[in-house]
A = this chain, B = another copy of it.
Amino acid sequence: MTTTEALPSFVFTVKDVAHASQVAPSAVRFYEEQGLIHARRTTGNQRRFDENAACRIRFARLAQRVGLTVREIATIFEALPEEPSAQDWARVCDSLVAEAEARVAELRHDLDALQTVTTRCTAGIVR
């Protein structure tokens, strides 16, 4: 049987995470600085991440593509416990999709308004 042992957890270097999440090492440091991911330090002051770091970064890059800022994403992550379960992640993902869909819905609504308020979008500049 594979015993559910306590993982060493914080074992990944900046480079590991960079590689796993497809970003530059500089970006990994930047994201830590911004509070998007968290690291512990070795006695020699080097960063060590757990596997969630890469996951967060991948997630973050996706979120950025639909218009969220790093800070907004960091806020979303605050809802995650230290060792998130699959369900925790699922919830976060759902909320991101929901947010993205809300934005699209708003977009659609506003575009409609833009077209119907005044025909042919002659936006009625009042001078």
User: A residues within 8 Å of B by Cβ?
Assistant: 12, 16-17, 19-21, 51-52, 54-55, 58-59, 62-67, 84-86, 89-90, 93, 96-97, 100-101, 103-104, 106-108, 110-111, 114-115, 119-127
Contact = CB atoms under 8 A, between A and B. Distances in A.
Contacts of A17: 125
Contacts of A64: 67
B16 A114 contact: no
Residue of A17, A93, A107 most packed against chain B (CB within 10 A): A107
Contacts of A115: 86, 89-90, 93
Contact of A126 (B20, B97, B127): B20
Residue of A19, A101, A121, A127 most packed against chain B (CB within 10 A): A121
